[in-house]
Amino acid sequence: MDAWPLRHLVLRTPRLELRPDDDEGLFELVRVAQAGVHGPDEMPFAVPWTDVLADDGGFGMVQHFWGVRARFAAGDWAICFLVRHEGRVVGVQEVNAQNFGVLREVNTGSWLGQEFQGNGFGTEMRVAVLQFAFDHLGASIARSAAWQGNRSSNRVSAKLGYVHDGTMAAAPRGERLEHVRLRLDEANFVRPEWKVAVEGLAECVHLITR
């Protein structure tokens, strides 16, 4: 039995390759984040981790991903896929679940470096993990969330078939903001013409779907 079977997992779309995070890829992801993820007046994240990048050089960011990897457990997991375009890391797409074998639900979250935004990568990488979850893992529901003012993220969700599922308040920079919860049932998923190619699932499916 492989000590870390997720290292074999690969998702491929028409333009992107998604692989679970590895150390060299994380160091490249830090450089992408340091080059910019959002404007200085925006904060798209509930935890304002981009505010400390200039001070710690990405130390906390790498520790976060290491922690996520270390907490992976059968049926209760998060996979942080590093997203590559033409061999370059451009962002990260997470999919996670708790008690997956019973609930059959996943949550997703993602970000792209600013220089890679605006060309459809965000939609393509989310579709990749949604197809992975629905078609290969047997998920029934996918959940996500975004600030009310995050037009690009909410646009992606709307065109893929998500519906609003309530709101929750958060204050990442000390100011109250409304986070919109989103739900996508497998039957309502608006699929593109292409299908994600999945490799290496046989080696780790017993950990993910249990």
5-137+194-208: which CATH topology?
Answer: Aminopeptidase (3.40.630)
Mean pLDDT, rounded, for 156-167 = 92
Locus of tokens 């061999």:
87
pLDDT attached to residue 199: 98
Q: Where are the domains of the chain?
A: 5-137+194-208
Is the pLDDT at 155 greater than 90, yes or no? no
Measure Cα distances from 26 to 37, 63, 72, 111 in Å: 15, 10, 17, 14
Is the pLDDT at 23 greater than 90, yes or no? yes
Taking only the tens place, the pLDDT of each residue in 106-132 is: 999 999 999 999 999 999 999 999 999
The span from the first CA to the last CA of the chain, in angstroms, equals 17
DSSP string, 7-63: GG-EEE-SSEEEEE--HHHHHHHHHHHHT-SS-TT---SSS-GGGGHHHHTTHHHHH
Give the confidence band of 48 by pLDDT, cuts at 50, 70, 90.
Answer: confident
pLDDT attached to residue 7: 95
Mean pLDDT, rounded, for 39-47 = 81
